[in-house]
Chain A
Amino acid sequence: MILVVSEFGDKLKKITLEAIGLARSLGQDVCVLAIGNGLSPLAEELSSYAKVFVTDGVSHCSNELISAHICEVARKTDARLIFLGDTFFGKDIAPLIATQLDWAFMADCTAIEEKDGLLVTRPIYAGKVITKARVKGNAVCTLRAKVFPEAKKSSSFGKETLGLPQITPKIKVLETKKEEQKRPDLTEADIVVSGGRGFKSRENFQICYELADLLGAAVGSSRAASDSGFIDAEYEVGQTGKIIAPKLYFAIGISGAIQHQVGMKSSGTIVSINKDPDAPIFAISDYGIVDDLFKVVPVLIEELKKRK
């Protein structure tokens, strides 16, 4: 049995369907756990992909409690693999689950095979080396987004309601602030518009948002842009930020340091706009415009407005 811990914002995240897809491709029974608040519609949706365990009415919950609960469900279902996304949720909780269960923990997996036991592929050294790990026994794995094909809907697998374990958490969650989700999630978006140091200021960076909104895109940034305070650090694309692979990626005013390339080079089509013809970003781009972004991007915005 493989247990998938589902993730959702306003709606179900693709990474959960990708995790179910991977689990099915391994020829294993799959069940999904949903923990959160107001889960009825989500549980209904999930039940057409796999058997669902629903733990509803949960908010402001600390990692100790969630992890203890997931461990209980793993034991109850006799799971030998647990899949989560390589998201902040996954990064926070998956290592604890693995330690609590005394299982292996494998992060940011890009392939999982059953070959005389479990063989896990993952990139290391900023993607410069690909390694395979042989896992002895059971494992908790976080999966890289947009690598595994999404599961397809089939019949209804049914639902079961669960409650949280009775432990007194040491951690108090005082506040949860979700930024208003008017743009798609960076790791899930089909189009991403990223800006770099070339924007020169936080005010100028607004052009990125305008372009993104016309394209229905998410906004990202280089480390240089977030370090300079043009945008908050959580939008950073790169080794210390998010690793993404949208269908279309705009790198605007981004020189393309290795640490940024790691986060976006698997994108489908890459468009770069930079006035420095020697910027390394061009070497991994499909289309390049060597020009002043402040001249080119406003024209692109006008063109897209015309089409609306």
Chain B
Amino acid sequence: MELSNLSHSLNLLLPELTLSIALLVLVLFDLIFHHDKKIISYVALIGLLATGFFVINQFSLSGFAFSTGNESYRNFGMITIDSFGSFFKLIVIVASVIIVFFSLSSDEIKKTSERIGEYYALIFGMILGMLFMISATDLILIYLSVELLSLSSYVLAGFTKLRERNSEASLKYMIYGSVSSGLMLFGISLVYGMTGTTNLYMINSLIQIPHLNLFTFSFAMILIFAGIGYKISSAPFHFWTPDVYEGAPITITAFLSVASKAAGFALLIRFVKITFVSYIDTSGFWQLIHVFDWKTLIVVISIFTMTLGNFSALWQDNLKRMLAYSSIAHAGYIMLGLAVLSNQGLTAMLIYFAVYLLMNLGAFLVVMLIANKINSEEIDDYDGLGYSSPFLAASLAIFLISLTGLPPTAGFIGKLYLFVALVDANMIGLAVVALLNTVVSLYYYVRVLKHMYLTKPETAIPEIKTSKPNTILVLVLLIPIFIFGIYFTPLVDLAKGCITILGL
């Protein structure tokens, strides 16, 4: 690899480099300032903001980095920088920044302030894994970034060690995770055995040959999908989700449900788009190479995922667990956007993700603030909360209404664009399935509202006072939900500008 190539590559990798340096600085500061660890959080914040700055800088950039091969054959890279990737990176970074603020006010994390350095180092490991997942176009790098993400999250899921559930969550996560990443690795090896390359672009050109064994190839694809499906918690790889979400510290749960999922989706979308699309027709539909029927697989999985998520959520009494199932259901909705296999569907997914980031993090934030005080996430303990703490309850109500997808909240816009994409692709039946699911979801979201506003509490619960920073944080998540619910043109324009996935 020539030096010019390397510097070009590194230039495209600025956010990741910044983050790695921040990680090292973090570890160093953790060692130096072991008396007052408050500073660590701010170091983390600065590192994230710097990374975010470079990510935003990259929006106009695109290109390949770290290309493999010899002198005569050096076209594609292990890393692809494009606006699609930048969008998802921004989602991840924004989520991370919010999570840092979460952690600052979380009682669970405060109890482990001794180990706060490790906490942030591991979170940075996760973020780094996500950033690479988002832009990786080489199966080895994909596997490695998934592992980096998983490894950090296993530890973080059991980080507080305060309750047994905590360790249980960690162990469960790890066992399921190892199995699915093993499956994925096996799938990758099969693909390599058939094509002799791990680069997605090369695979794309190689699988157009007629002699490919479709059976083995499909088998390999399903195995790879197992690895990704685990990250986005789509059925049937979702079993870990409720237990882990319930057991893990709530900051990590929130992070997993948004950022980890976003990275997984980015990977899935990029993988499908680069590897299997032969061309995009004039109306924006992706024409697949006829080797593997992604459309059917994704349609089936998404229906399965959202139905299962929604119906399981109906019976949950623990709010964290309910939100876990709801996040499974949302993965199903988002996957519908991919099932359309069109630019429009992709736009819808991006919009949905931006909105999902706000409302899901918001819901978790409020649940955390309430849990800080009443030390419970059980839905029965929320009785009468609407009157004892009107601000928090109203915020939670709005986040949940947005998750349901009712206007005039941003959640509606996400669903609207998904429906438009589905109907445009003439997949009305699927749209109807999604909407029936929405009705089911209404029931369990409204159940929380019911407990907060309609049920009389058995014992009077104290008013939960929110500190100023927390109030501001809630508002930061809350206000855009209304703004985007009513005036969503900027969001849509941003998403429309970010559907470029280099490769075609």
Chain B associates with chain A = no
B residues neighboring A (CB under 8 Å) = none
